Structure 1
Amino acid sequence: MERYPEIGDHGLIGDLQTAALVSGDGTVDWFCCPRFDSPSVFASLLDADRGGYCRVAPVDGHVVSRQLYLPETAMLITRFMTEGGVGEVVDFMPVAGTVPTDRHRLVRMVRTVRGTMRFTFEVRPRFDYGRAPHKLEMFDEGAVFAGDGMELTVSPVGSGHRALDVHRDGDDLLVELTLDEGESAGVLLESMGGRPHRVPLAELEHLAQDTARYWRDWVNASTYRGRWREMVTRSAIALKLMTYAPTGAPVASPTAGLPEQVGGERNWDYRYTWIRDGSFSIHALLGLGYTEEAAAFGRWLRDRTMESAGSSSGPLKIMYRVDGSSDLTEETLEHLEGWRGSRPVRIGNDAADQLQLDIYGEALDAMYSAERGGIGIAHQAWLGLTDVIDWLCDHWDQPDEGVWETRGGRQDFTYGRFQCWVALDRALRLAAEHGRPADVARWTIERDNVYRQIMSRGWNAEKGTFTQHYGSDVVDAALLLMPLTGFVTPNDPLWESTLAAIERELVSDSLVYRYNPSASPDGLRGDEGTFSICTFWYVDALARAGRLTEAQLVFQKMQTYANPLGLFSEEIGLTGEQLGNFPQAFSHLSLINAAVSLDRRLEERARRCG
């Protein structure tokens, strides 16, 4: 067995407050508790020896494994095929609800569907990223791991007449069992669950039925009936799994430290809520008819705009914890070797204090879309929003760190500037369409000033393209959002020339790099893969430009890079491997937006031709 599975060789399960990754060989190798951003219980994905894991596997013979989801659910099935039979483990987490809790359940149900199979469960937690020791206490009904304020209760679930062989392995736990065709057993893992108890198999089956019903009801609430529905549905479930239900805040990814380049240093902690990612998610959720989820994040975003951060980065920080707090101090876990030696492993994120002006455009565009979707802005929220826009009028004309959170110093990034134009434009529309009080004259002047500046300084006439920042000749894929936000029209010659430059320099067989690090030093060593969100932006840009056949081909090519479960990480490597934190909300929300946009335009073409 490989010490480290491929990043993409995983499925995601969760209970809407935290989540776990399950590798293709049946190992839970990433699980933080009680929240996404809490310390880890299992983290062998970042250190095979020190991280801890929970594995279910057949004991004998050569094993071939495959994974799939129970249709229209977040319940993961890992199937094992051996010479003696076929078995499978069903992994899921019963939904925790909208009230924060320290008690979370992870259910691992195993069964033999053909022949006879011997299985072993290994439970080897390593609390606090492997930094905290633990003690194991055995009971007749199971065991309890305790350490550093965290407990993990393990309750083995027998299969009728068959007894489970439960024993210690040092301070870890082993459970062994043999199942004939049609027999089932399992293990219930509970954080802060107290003493283990006898759990009838029927209880786990009941939990499974309830969990499946929850997800199918949620999926059936979608209004999307267009093309690629299975891929869109899986992306929607992934987004839901990455959303913290008590506040409605989505995390960028449930993982930390997975590299953008194998062996490189671009290894970040993404278990937080970015203003940018969350704002984009509103468009995706509204596009599928999920107004309740869009409204929940809208309330979270409203609360942030009504706060006064009092920092040099402006009234909004670029990211927060899921509860809205902003203590994201970055530290390096020196004792962890990282996935396949990719160090350093970081937790926390010092980019939280960067100045990234684009977040105001993304937030205001999301609020505008939400209001047009029937999610209104209350009076106090509007007053807080006007304060934000007034601040932006005073501060838009300054260098920032940019959308890609570079660590090479501030620049006058074109993307940040045109998103300032978006913020002012959407604020003016929100004021005009509902007669809200606003300094309309000033906002209009500053909006127009931003526009004129971008056209005079963001355009490189010699190269024939808008550039990454003023005075450069570097092309940036973030500029693909220019026509998507209405800053330019898709048939504007300036944009057509920019799109051609992006295609020449950043597109590789439909996949899109965000920029060329060697041409635009970003303060970090090494290279990276293509960015999946940029590829989906490219699909949308092609569709809006009327190049529908090309857009459809790029979109369908991109689907071939998903893992077998339909999940995407942040980036795609040279040979098609998933890179970066996994799965990535950015990738899935942009897939949804591209699918909705492309499907609508294909339908319009069909009606015209029909």
Structure 2
Amino acid sequence: MPSRIEDYALIGDCETAALVARDGSIDWLCWPRFDSSACFAAMLGTPEHGRWLLAPSDPAPRVRRRYRDGTLVLETDYETADGAATIMDFMPPRGTASDLLRIVLGRRGQVAMHTELVLRFDYGSAVPWVSRTEDGAALQAIAGPDLVILRTPVPVQGKDFRTVGEFTVSEGEVVPFVLSYGPSHLPPPEAIDPLAALRNTEAFWQEWSSRCQHTGPWRDAVLRSHITLKALTYRPTGGIVAAPTTSLPEQLGGARNWDYRFCWLRDATLTLLSLMDAGYRDEAEAWRAWLLRAVAGSPRQMQIMYGIAGERRLSEWEPSWLPGYESSGPVRIGNAAYSQRQIDVFGEVMDALYQGRRGGLPTLEAGWALQRDLAGHLESIWDQPDEGIWEVRGEQRHFTHSKVMAWVAFDRMIRSAEEFGLEGPLDRWRQLRQRIHEDVCGTGFDPELGSFVQSYGSKHLDASLLLLPLVGFLPPSDPRVQGTVRAIEQRLLVDGTFVLRYDTAEAADGLPPGEGAFLACSFWLVDNLVLQGRREEARGMFERLLALRNDVGLLAEEYDPVAGRQVGNFPQAFSHLALANSARNLALGDRHAAHRT
């Protein structure tokens, strides 16, 4: 059985990522990109589906982990009866090849170590041909287009379609392992100096971290969140994946298992604001450029998500040989939601581009022309039903949040024109903005409940309604907003900290009921408490949410308060973006800090 989700740590090279468990097993890695097929897929199955174990041969009663300050270099300390050793796991910023390094350092006494490399390409289905390189200095594994080279001074041998080795590390001794990926039709990747790669990787991350401008409380948590966000960035294009994993369940044993190795437009505004607020303008500009390239073309063809290079077809299929994390099936590769209609993404795109202008990013003339085309298409579809922010796989509805974000789209177009002298049909946009506002307030609000509702005509609540004051649709002092927050606290808040997206048992969404609390929604409630002047409550809730992070500061998509487990894909960009945003809002000490207007 794989480790608990919260027992994993992330390493990566800003093009792909691996997950390392506390027991020393790398159970997930897709090469050469985030969305490539996995060569280690034990996280969704068994060790036979691919993993790389490197750990003491005898039990280690004490295990401690940390990242080196300001970096993505993971250090895991193991203490056994005979000594202590540290394993340093990292992936250097990519050069001519992609490398994964594991360096064992003897700290005290002697520690017997064991390694077991199980390479299984194509999500655990393809056993490679393993042989020695021509010079005999390394092992190479080939399966179709993929080639992986293992270089280490440790004698290793094949056993039951695995590569295994035993060795002892003494105090002060350094034992490196280098795993390198390359296309099988090209010469093998060249050898690199492991210690020089460690120095260069540490310098890369520390230089990047030194530019973080967040100086308020919780700086370490905010910085770790931004390092995680940087690690989820596909450097060649600027796209940022929602998570590096697929099919980690939103409920253990459940079927809500999705592939998150793609870029959602919905994350656009939070990503842009978070990067700009922290001082990472280059990354913000690269993300905006990816956004504009992705949505370019016919407005009718704009999708809710794209591949990391802007790919549009993300067809979904199920590898039948993978049983899923803790038997949570099915495992899904690709995401069929890419073809859904989700009207709210128009608002997110317009808001992101508006915030970029406000933040001083260079003006792009093509950006405004594209926005005008998108606004023209939105005029014809804003009053139609859709699948909504949570990508329901049931019947389309008139989701209140979707309508609000259509309002945001026209509001930001108007503001962009007014503040930056851009041309557009302002009178028509103003009329549409007012019409949508009246429609939402008249149809999306239930006087009997004293709250806005999930969709027109329903009695169900939805945590996305917490965004109404955050995007400026209504002020936080409005009785309808306060009633909505109060209703969500009464019906969707669990144990005073955990906010459910909606009641999956009541609001049919085309899937079996049951999931954890969505962590981003919990941070949205923190922001609302700040806006309402309930600062002590907001701070207390924020601190409790911070305590959910694992030992190296990472958060999944959701949390199961009954099982006390992190659930969903991991680590989740949206959770870390929301964390950084709430920390900023609390630190500003301003009742209107959380507004995006």
TM-score by length of 2: 0.96
Deviations 1:435-491 (A, max 9, x none): 212111211111111000001000000110000000011111111111111101011
Are the aligned partners of 1:548 and 1:602 in contact in 2 as well (CA < 8 Å)?
no
Candidates 575, 579, 597, aligned match of 1:587: 575
Q: Spell out the pairing of 1:532-547 with structure 2 (5 A cutoff).
A: 532-547=519-534
Deviations 1:287-308 (A, max 9, x none): 2111111111111111233222
Measured in 1, the distance between the counterparts of 2:301 and 2:422 equals: 21
Q: Spell out the pairing of 1:191-590 with structure 2 (5 A cutoff).
A: 191-192=181-182, 194-195=187-188, 203-308=193-298, 314-508=300-494, 509-573=496-560, 574-590=562-578
Q: Secondary structure at the match of 2:36?
A: coil
**CA spacing shift, 1:420–1:15, aligned 2, 3 Å:** same
Q: Secondary structure at the match of 2:589?
A: helix
Measured in 2, the distance between the counterparts of 1:326 and 1:65 equals: 43
Which amino acid is the alignment partner of residue 263 of structure 2? T
Deviations 1:161-202 (A, max 9, x none): xxx322112432123211111111011000018448776xxx
Percent same amino acid among aligned pairs?
A: 39
**CA spacing shift, 1:387–1:155, aligned 2, 3 Å:** same
| Cα distance, 1:286 vs structure 2 | 1.3
Q: Which residue of 2 aligns with 1:149?
A: 145
Runs of 4+ with >4 A deviation: 193-199, 602-605
Are the aligned partners of 2:317 and 2:333 in contact in 1 as well (CA < 8 Å)?
yes
Measured in 2, the distance between the counterparts of 1:14 and 1:61 equals: 28
| Cα distance, 1:112 vs structure 2 | 1.4
Are the aligned partners of 2:275 and 2:281 in contact in 1 as well (CA < 8 Å)?
yes
Q: Secondary structure at the match of 1:404?
A: coil
Measured in 2, the distance between the counterparts of 1:142 and 1:168 equals: 13
Q: Secondary structure at the match of 1:128?
A: helix
Measured in 2, the distance between the counterparts of 1:65 and 1:146 equals: 34
| Cα distance, 1:81 vs structure 2 | 1.3
TM-score by length of 1: 0.94
**CA spacing shift, 1:181–1:429, aligned 2, 3 Å:** same
Which amino acid is the alignment partner of residue 519 of structure 2? S
**CA spacing shift, 1:25–1:49, aligned 2, 3 Å:** closer
Which amino acid is the alignment partner of residue 45 of structure 1? M
Measured in 1, the distance between the counterparts of 2:343 and 2:566 equals: 29
Structure 2, gaps ≥5 residues long: none
| Cα distance, 1:142 vs structure 2 | 1.7
Structure 1, gaps ≥5 residues long: 159-163, 606-610
Which amino acid is the alignment partner of residue 460 of structure 1? D
Measured in 2, the distance between the counterparts of 1:331 and 1:604 equals: 45
Measured in 2, the distance between the counterparts of 1:104 and 1:197 equals: 11
| Cα distance, 1:278 vs structure 2 | 3.1
Q: Which residue of 2 aligns with 1:599?
A: 587
| Cα distance, 1:62 vs structure 2 | 4.5
| Cα distance, 1:603 vs structure 2 | 11
**CA spacing shift, 1:589–1:198, aligned 2, 3 Å:** closer
**CA spacing shift, 1:65–1:602, aligned 2, 3 Å:** farther
Are the aligned partners of 2:350 and 2:413 in contact in 1 as well (CA < 8 Å)?
yes
- For these two proteins, the number of residue pairs brought into alignment is 586
Q: Secondary structure at the match of 1:188?
A: strand
**CA spacing shift, 1:62–1:11, aligned 2, 3 Å:** closer
Deviations 1:274-329 (A, max 9, x none): 001233211111121111111111111112332226xxxx3420000000011200
Candidates 36, 47, 68, aligned match of 1:38: 36
**CA spacing shift, 1:61–1:460, aligned 2, 3 Å:** closer
Matched, 1:77 2:63: no
Are the aligned partners of 2:530 and 2:591 in contact in 1 as well (CA < 8 Å)?
no
| Cα distance, 1:33 vs structure 2 | 0.7
Q: Secondary structure at the match of 2:49?
A: coil
Are the aligned partners of 2:295 and 2:302 in contact in 1 as well (CA < 8 Å)?
yes
Deviates more, 1:323-332 or 1:169-178: 169-178
Q: Secondary structure at the match of 1:13?
A: strand
Q: Which residue of 2 aligns with 1:161?
A: none
Are the aligned partners of 1:166 and 1:175 in contact in 2 as well (CA < 8 Å)?
yes
Are the aligned partners of 2:295 and 2:303 in contact in 1 as well (CA < 8 Å)?
no
Which amino acid is the alignment partner of residue 402 of structure 1? G
Are the aligned partners of 2:532 and 2:591 in contact in 1 as well (CA < 8 Å)?
no
Which amino acid is the alignment partner of residue 85 of structure 1? G
